[in-house]
């Protein structure tokens, strides 16, 4: 039977699954949704790992597909950039949260519509258009960053 320790990487951060040690931006969601404490060292280590391993120029990729540079495998997932803003806020990093939010908010088209992915190097929208999940994340992140405290409501 699996336990929570099966999902902990040797470095102390959360990992995708037992046997899959990759970092995944979706691992930010438990802290965002208060499923794990924001001050948990594994949560803090996961936030750092996502920033170090999956971010480029203020945008966040979901996970590393293979050994290629991140931008060669796919675009940055805008949803993950908003998750990073929420995770930074939940961990008490207000200024960083605002930076993540504003950077990802800027990746919309002229009509204010978001796609699923953003090509960081070519500065172009990629993927499904419009992407409802990204639009929902923009709204949630804007509301949560403008309110008091970092805890999920």
So where are the chain's domains? 4-146
DSSP string across 54-110: HEETTEE-SB--SSS-HHHH--EEHHHHHHHHHHHHHTT-HHHHHHHHHHHHTTS-T
Q: How confident is the model at residue 82 (pLDDT cuts 50, 70, 90)?
A: very high
- State percent of the chain over pLDDT 90: 65
Q: What is the pLDDT of residues 131-141, one digit of tens each?
A: 999 999 999 99
Measure Cα distances from 47 to 109, 114, 124 in Å: 28, 24, 26
16 or 50, which is more confident: 50
* CB proximity list for 50: less than 8 A, separation 6 or greater: 23, 25, 27, 28, 60, 80, 84, 87
Q: How much is the mean pLDDT over the chain?
A: 90
């Amino acid at each position: 039977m699996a336990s929570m320790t099966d999902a902990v990487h040797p470095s102390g951060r959360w990992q995708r699954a037992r046997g899959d040690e990759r970092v995944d931006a979706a691992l930010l969601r438990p802290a965002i949704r208060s499923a794990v404490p924001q001050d948990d060292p594994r949560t803090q280590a996961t936030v750092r790992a996502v920033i170090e391993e999956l971010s480029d120029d203020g945008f966040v990729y979901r996970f590393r597909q293979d050994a290629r540079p991140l931008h060669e495998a796919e675009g940055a997932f805008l949803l993950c950039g908003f998750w990073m803003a929420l995770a930074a806020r939940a961990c008490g990093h207000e200024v960083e949260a605002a930076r993540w939010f504003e950077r990802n908010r800027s990746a919309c088209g002229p009509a204010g519509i978001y796609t699923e992915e953003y090509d960081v190097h070519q500065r172009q929208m990629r993927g499904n258009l419009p992407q409802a999940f990204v639009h929902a994340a923009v709204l949630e992140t804007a509301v949560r960053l403008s309110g008091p405290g970092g805890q999920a409501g």
